[in-house]
Amino acid sequence: MSADVFVATCDLAGHVRGRAVPAEAHDAVLDSGLGWVPANLGLTAFEEIAPASPFGATGDLRLMPDEATAVELAADGDRPGLRLYLADQTLPDGTPWNCCPRTFLKRALADLREATGIEVIAAFEHEFVLDGLPESAPFSLRRYRDAEPFGADLLRTLTECGLEPETWLPEYGERQFEITLAPGDALRAADRAVVLRELVRDLAIRRGLRASFAPLQRPGGTGSGVHVHLSLVDAKGDPVLFDEGRPGRLSHLGSRFAAGLLRHAAALTAWTAPSPVSFLRLVPGHWSVSGAFLGERNREALVRICPTRPGDPARQFNLEYRAADATANPWLTLAVLVRAGLAGLTGGDVYPDPAVWPEEADLADVPRLPATLSGALESLREDRVAASWFDREMLDCYLAVKRHELDTVAGLDEAQRIRKIADVY
């Protein structure tokens, strides 16, 4: 192997960071990892360590690469090849660190499995904008062709890296596109989401373009989100969400899982829509989320029951969580959804089956999401169940990071805030 090695994690701001070594050190790095420090968890989207972070100048960690996450990036022009690994952040002796986002997802999945015997199959849909293309119509062949050779190169790169692309299409917003990956087990799906964003940005630069996954590019514009699809299977791999005789064809188990998502919706958005401008997108009439309700094929529902194609409906049946964007860490996004779903499954009568809102419905009375990130952070603080999912230092660090990001943009007008976020995502 001749390519250098980059060992990476994804932080609380959704940014991928890590350390690199020459190819000759590959085997040693797989065995013992690379040095890291707790203070790095306090980095904000604007590359500053949040002053209120609980982690200071002391302490040491290791970035321990997971060999199963290996991605080989071929050399391209004057850019050399690279081998990328995603890592768990561990204590120096290799034991798990309670504040590692990837470990947090692993533990959520393990707790769901232990309590219910259920496994999660997940898929992430990403929308993003490609700057540097001419203007073109939404969903048009022209936009699709204008993005070449980027589009063909992206599909080839994702395929070569084992990410299994499913669809690549021009979207509704200006210069907006969508890329979807095949469903997979939850940890692998989140790993793929972390890597996907980096591969898109890297390829865009190499093709003279600029890719932005920010929630908005300008005031009043079409937003870019991340839709997280969730299927549940039992220990034998059989799907458990489908029941032909129930409302929305959603099983009782699936309904209770959705009840957890809805009951903790406000707190969830503090993790899944965590930028200072994310909530400008989550408003009625934007085909994003107009309220915390379970909808049958309704694209303004927080949780949508997706339609099925011809064939076995049980194998296709899934729930779509729609209040996420790419300023969030994929491991944390999926973990909090699993935690909320588990609360619904095990919480008894506190989590009654939610109503399934039909495709056409008056949504005036549905519960609303927080209007701002500040409101979502306050909801997280007040939701004792949701707050209990986290190590105290991890939660304190997250709140410090997000509040510092809010303080950083506090003096800017809406257009300036949107631009500042767009520039770093």
Task: Specify whether 120 is located in the same domain as 268.
Answer: yes
- Identify the domain containing residue 26 by its residue range: 4-95
Both 48 and 130 in a single domain? no
In single-letter form, the type of residue at position 235 comes to A
12 and 148 part of one domain: no
Residue 218 forms part of a structural domain: yes
DSSP 24: G
Which of 31, 66, 95 is the last residue before a domain boundary?
A: 95
The answer to whether the CB of 406 falls within 8 A of the CB of 374 is yes
What is the number of domains present in the chain?
Answer: 2
**pLDDT tens readout for residues 25-84:** 999 999 999 999 999 999 999 999 999 999 998 999 999 999 999 999 988 888 899 999
Same domain, 148 and 13: no
- Whether residue 213 is found in the same domain as residue 290: yes
Domain stops at, among 73, 95, 117: 95
The structure tokens listed for 67 are: 């060999």
Question: Is 265 among the domain residues?
Answer: yes
267-290 pLDDT per residue, tens: 999 999 999 999 999 988 777 888
* Whether residue 322 is found in the same domain as residue 407: yes
In this predicted model, what pLDDT tens digit does every residue of 86-134 receive, in sequence order? Answer: 999 999 999 999 999 999 999 999 999 999 999 999 999 999 999 999 9
Statement to judge: residues 144 and 278 lie in one domain:
yes
139 within domain boundaries: yes
- Beta bridge mates, 238: none
Residue 58 corresponds to which tokens in the numbers above? 């002391």
| Residue 100 domain flag | no
Give per-residue pLDDT as tens, 142-156.
999 999 999 999 999
Say if residue 70 is in the same domain as residue 135. Answer: no
Query: 148 and 65 share a domain?
Result: no
| Whether residue 177 is found in the same domain as residue 84 | no
Angle at 421 between CA 415 and CA 425, to 5 degrees: 140
Domain membership of residue 345 (yes or no) is yes
